[in-house]
């Protein structure tokens, strides 16, 4: 409890084996053997041919089949299409290659079939470390927590992130920082989640600042992926607040890209919450190497050339519905969240 100085805490973690390192993809078959997994269905998003080839080359004879139609927010049609392939090839596990969209599809299949999940993350979404799932049916996205969907094996190879474009690198990295920021001031923060959050922010801020100009810097890629891993762990252990609710609404109901929505919102949400979470803000500032979290996050967004909400296609006419959706249900946040407050926050974000 960062703010309350309450010495009692409780948390659960799910069982997962994590293998991290440049070139660790070559250990994939041995790691699957170690887990007793023989035939996996490979799931990914469209356009990942080069990384897919690299993974397939390591998988034989473990490859049962491939489905490359994962899409953002895990639509029901993608789940059904992947399930059709799954029923044909009868794997004993699913293996995701890619970011939160591929991992989300794997989680949906794990939930429906009970098959274990293996993840090879190639963005900084952190979803691979969480038991949080999300699926979309029509216009409605449902999310929840279920330890059964959390990957059992996660293999991080930073070499697979070299191809992530600069703009996605910055936005996805800010998405990971958003997990850590909200973990830092979460009401159920504990000494472990707090350490994870502070260190994630430090590693991500340092490495993203390098990657924005040098996307092929291998040391910075490894550092950013380490930060994303820590941020994902912190996200899994804590309750998220306004930042995650708003990003969820803007991406789910207004079609903004998920990581970019997080990145555009973060400076405004940190500014909004700052006075209500002074201790967490001091830690966040220290992790950023500055003495003020609000200006530190704003400056980082500028350095990373983060697109504004307006540039992402959000406009003033969308504010009333967004504010209504973001305040439909109660959730933890350092400052009281009301519909007028969210409208004001979004107006200032559009003016920025």
- Residues in touch with ligand NAD (CB under 6 A): 45, 47-48, 72-73, 98-102, 104, 122-123, 125-127, 130, 132, 134, 160-161, 163-164, 168, 172, 175, 258-259
Nearest residue (CB) to ligand NAD, 101 versus 226? 101
- At 75 the three-state DSSP class reads strand
CB closer to ligand NAD, 6 vs 213: 213
Minimum separation from the CB atom of position 252 to ligand NAD (A):
8
CB atoms within 10 A of CB 56: 14
The residue (of 48 and 202) whose beta carbon lies closer to ligand NAD is 48
Toward ligand NAD, which CB reaches closer, 91 or 151?
Answer: 151
Q: Where are the alpha helices (DSSP H) in 90-136?
A: 100-113
d(CA 39, CA 52): 16
CB of 50 to ligand NAD, least distance (A): 8
Between 129 and 270, whose beta carbon lies closer to ligand NAD? 129
Rounded Cα distance, 77 and 314, in Å? 27
Considering the complex, what minimum distance in angstroms separates the CB of residue 236 from ligand NAD?
A: 7
CB of 100 vs ligand NAD, minimal distance in Å: 2
- What does the angle CA 129 – CA 145 – CA 148 come to, to the nearest 5 degrees? 70
Q: How many CA atoms lie within 13 A of 175 on its CB side?
A: 28
Q: Would you call 260 exposed, middle or buried from its count of C-beta atoms within 10 A (0-12, 13-18, 19+)?
A: buried
Of 175 and 333, CB closest to ligand NAD: 175
Residue 230, preceding peptide bond in cis (omega within 30° of 0): no
Residue nearest to ligand NAD (CB): 100
Taking the C-alpha atoms of residue 257 and residue 250, their distance in angstroms, rounded to an integer, is 8
Nearest CA to 329 out of 239, 263, 268 is that of: 239
What's the length of the chain?
352
CB of residue 51 to ligand NAD, shortest distance in Å: 6
Nearer to ligand NAD, 74 or 277 (CB): 74
Reading phi first (left if > 0) and then psi (alpha if -120 to 50, else beta), residue 308 is in beta
| Pick 91 or 252: Cβ nearer ligand NAD | 252
Minimum CB distance to ligand NAD, residue 260 (Å):
8
Q: Rounded to the nearest whole angstrom, what is the least distance from the CB of residue 154 to ligand NAD in the complex?
A: 12
Distance of closest approach, residue 336 Cβ to ligand NAD, in angstroms:
25
DSSP label at 149?
G
Eight-state DSSP code of residue 276: G
């Amino acid at each position: 409890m960062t703010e309350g100085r309450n010495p009692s805490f409780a948390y659960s973690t799910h069982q997962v084996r994590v293998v991290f390192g440049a070139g660790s993809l070559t250990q994939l078959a041995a790691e699957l053997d170690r887990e007793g997994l023989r035939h996996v269905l490979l799931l990914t998003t469209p356009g990942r041919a080069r990384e897919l080839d690299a993974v397939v080359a390591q998988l034989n004879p473990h490859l049962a089949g491939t489905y490359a139609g994962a899409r953002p927010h895990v639509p029901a049609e993608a789940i059904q299409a992947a399930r059709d392939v799954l029923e044909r090839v009868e794997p004993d596990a699913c293996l995701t290659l890619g970011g939160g969209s591929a991992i989300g599809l794997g989680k949906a299949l794990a939930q429906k079939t009970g098959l274990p999940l293996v993840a090879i993350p190639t963005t900084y979404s952190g979803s691979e470390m969480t038991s949080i799932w999300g699926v979309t049916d029509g216009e409605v996205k449902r999310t929840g927590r279920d330890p059964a969907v959390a990957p059992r094996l996660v293999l991080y190879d930073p070499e697979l992130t070299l191809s992530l474009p600069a703009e996605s690198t910055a936005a996805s990295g800010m998405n990971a920082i958003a997990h850590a920021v909200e973990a830092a001031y979460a009401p159920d923060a504990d000494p472990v989640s707090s350490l994870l959050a502070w260190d994630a922010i430090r590693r991500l801020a340092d490495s993203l600042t390098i990657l924005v100009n040098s996307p092929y810097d291998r040391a910075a890629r490894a550092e950013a992926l380490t930060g994303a891993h820590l941020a994902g762990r912190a996200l899994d252990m804590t309750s998220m607040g306004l930042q995650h609710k708003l990003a969820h609404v803007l991406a789910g109901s207004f079609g903004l890209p998920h990581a970019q929505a997080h990145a555009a919102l973060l400076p405004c949400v940190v500014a909004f919450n700052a006075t209500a979470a002074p201790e967490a803000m001091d830690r966040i500032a220290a992790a950023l190497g500055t003495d003020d979290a609000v200006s530190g996050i704003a400056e980082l967004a500028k350095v990373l050339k983060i697109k504004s909400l307006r540039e992402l296609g959000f406009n003033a006419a969308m504010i009333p519905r967004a504010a209504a959706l973001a305040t439909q249900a109660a959730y933890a946040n350092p400052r009281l969240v009301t519909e007028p407050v969210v409208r004001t926050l979004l107006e200032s974000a559009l003016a920025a």
